Structure 1
């Protein structure tokens, strides 16, 4: 059983926009609500995914991979931080 839908979004649109959405919903054999919800949800997922993904240029990617493959030796600050962290345990 699906969860009861209790949330609502109200939008205002002009006559041309409404007609276009109604026509598109009819082509998909959906109600206007189904069409708007599925379209908005799909776009929202894409936008969120794009903002969660890190895209690097090739030279930046190479620098990251090089740093992972060849990490620098720990300096005094890093050794000191590791010591403080161990003292917290």
Structure 2
């Protein structure tokens, strides 16, 4: 049993956009709602993935790996922050 659909999005479309969406939905044997939800969800997932993934060139990658492998010694500001945190606990 599928989950009850509770959310709604209203759209304003040009006549051309509406016709094209209706035609594409019919060609893919889907209702307009099914077509629009599937299309929008797929595109949303792509955009979210693009923004969550970090791509680095080789030089940047090496700098990050070096910083992880050889972190700098804590400076005075970081030491003070650690002490404040310990005092809060």
Q: Same fold (TM over 0.5)?
A: yes
| Cα distance in 2 between the residues matched to 1:12 and 1:4 | 25
- Aligned mates of 2:78, 2:46 — CA distance in 1: 39
Aligned residues: 89
Query: Which consecutive unaligned segments of at least 5 residues does structure 1 have?
Result: none
Partners of 1:6 and 1:87 in 2: CA distance: 47
Q: TM-score, normalization: structure 2?
A: 0.80
CA RMSD of aligned residues (A): 1.8
Tell me which residue corresponds to 1:38: 38
- What TM-score does the superposition give when structure 1 sets the normalisation length? 0.80
User: Structure 2 stretches of 5 or more lacking a match?
Assistant: none
